[in-house]
Amino acid sequence: MDAERDQTPRSEKILTDLQDVYPRLSPQLRRAAHYLIDRPDEIAFTSMRQLAERANVQPATMVRLAQALGFDGYESLREPFRDALRRQPAGFGQRARKLLARTSRRRKGRALAQLANEMVASDRDNLSLSLEAIGSDELAEAAGVLAGARRIYVVGQRSLFPAAFYVHYACSMFREEMILMDGNGGTFADRLRGMTDADAMLVFSFEPYSRGAVEATEFAATRGAAIVAVTDSLVSPLSSLTKHMLLVGTDTPALFKSVVPVLSIAQVLVAQILAQGGQAALSSVAESEQQLETFGAYWTEADRVRVPDDAGDAGDDSPGVREDAASFDHKTEQRGS
Partner DNA sequence: GAATGATTGAATCAGTTGTTTCATAGGGCT
Partner DNA sequence: AGCCCTATGAAACAACTGATTCAATCATTC
Site for its own copies in 2-61 (CB under 8 A): 2-3, 19, 22, 30, 33-34, 37-39, 41, 44-45, 54
Site for its own copies in 237-256 (CB under 8 A): 237, 239-240, 242-243, 245, 247, 252, 254-256
The whole-angstrom distance between residue 163's C-alpha and the CA centroid of its chain comes to 14
- Closest by CA to 139, choosing from 150, 151, 130, is 130
Considering only 10, 298, 302, 308, the residue that binds its own copies (CB under 8 A) is 298
Indicate the burial class of 252 (C-beta count within 10 angstroms; 0-12, 13-18, 19 or more): buried
DSSP reduced 3-state for 5: coil
Handedness of CA 159, 121, 166, 141 (dihedral sign): negative
Smallest gap from Cβ 291 to DNA, in A, equals 20
Handedness of CA 294, 296, 299, 300 (dihedral sign): positive
Of the pair 91, 194, the CB lying nearest DNA is at: 91
Smallest gap from Cβ 61 to DNA, in A, equals 6
Considering only 8, 47, 94, 318, the residue that binds DNA (CB under 7 A) is 47
How far is the first Cα of the chain from the last one, in angstroms, to the nearest whole number?
45
* Partner interacting with residue 255 (select from DNA, its own copies, none; CB below 5-8 Å by kind): its own copies
How far is residue 325's CA from residue 162's CA, in Å, rounded to a whole number?
A: 45
* Partner interacting with residue 219 (select from its own copies, DNA, none; CB below 5-8 Å by kind): none
User: Quick one: which segment of 27-35, 156-164, 193-201, 244-252 binds DNA (CB under 7 A)?
Assistant: 27-35
Considering only 117, 187, 288, 290, the residue that binds its own copies (CB under 8 A) is 117
* Partner interacting with residue 310 (select from DNA, its own copies, none; CB below 5-8 Å by kind): none
For its own copies (CB under 8 A), the number of binding residues is: 138
DSSP lists the bridge partners of residue 230 as: 204, 246
How far is residue 274's CA from residue 290's CA, in Å, rounded to a whole number?
A: 18
Site for DNA in 57-96 (CB under 7 A): 57-64, 66-67, 72-76, 78
